[in-house]
Amino acid sequence: MKFELAVTVREKTGKGAARQLRREGKIPGVLYGQGECLLLTIEPDSLVKILKAQAGGTALVSLTLTGAKSTPNRTALLRDFQVDPVEGNVLHADLFEISMNKPIRVKVPLHLTGGVPAGVKEGGILHHNMRELHIECLPAVLPDFIEVDASGLNISQGLHLKDVAVRDGIKFLDDPEHMVVS
């Protein structure tokens, strides 16, 4: 899923500048990649909307940079963010600039589908061994998550990564023999 985010490039660095931005109701951020590092000022409403709609590190963000000396429109991944543990406000965001023509490596959440497996209905216990997968793909085919159908599993059966169906253009980077669900 792709999101829009308008940000302003800032010049001031350091803890004091970041605190001042937070007092003004803004979020300090950094855009890494492509040979440069840009300090950003982000509007909280826009960023919170992205965070609520998208879990994990697969949120593609179309950035519109105000005050940039070079390209004003860029594509990035929301790589990391910090949240105040008491008030729940976003304190900082890290974005990683990407090229739409080069493969990227990301962790993608793994979702089980298909309802309750047959083995669980017979008294077995389902072990969800992998919660996320490391993949490589072009940003255009980046999935929000990978679905695995575990409904056909019986007692003492498991699903390896090599058994998981994958879309064209996506490559799993984890060991194919790794047990996903048992």
Residues 21-43 have pLDDT tens digits of 899 999 999 999 877 888 999 99
Domain 104-181 -> CATH class: mainly beta
Among 55-59, 84-88, 148-152, the minimum mean pLDDT is found in: 55-59
Cα separation of 60 and 120, whole Å?
37
Pairing of strands 73-83, 27-32: unpaired
Residue ranges, comma separated, of all CATH 2.170.120.20 domains in the chain are: 104-181
pLDDT at 150: 86
- Strand 2-9 versus strand 60-66 pairing type: parallel
> In whole numbers, what is the pLDDT of the chain averaged over residues?
87
Q: Give me the percent of the chain exceeding a pLDDT of 70.
A: 97
Percentage of the chain lying above the pLDDT 90 cut: 25
pLDDT of res. 1: 62
> Is residue 180 within 8 Å of 160, Cβ to Cβ?
yes
Q: Where in the chain is the domain with CATH 2.40.240.10?
A: 2-98
Q: Which residues pair with 85 in a beta bridge?
A: none
Instruction: Express each pLDDT in 88-122 by its tens digit.
Output: 889 999 999 999 999 999 998 888 888 888 888 88
8 A C-beta contact, residue 46 and residue 5 = yes
* Residue 64 CA from chain centroid, whole number: 20
pLDDT in tens, 153-169: 888 888 899 988 888 99
The CATH T-level fold of domain 2-98 is Ribosomal Protein L25; Chain P (2.40.240)
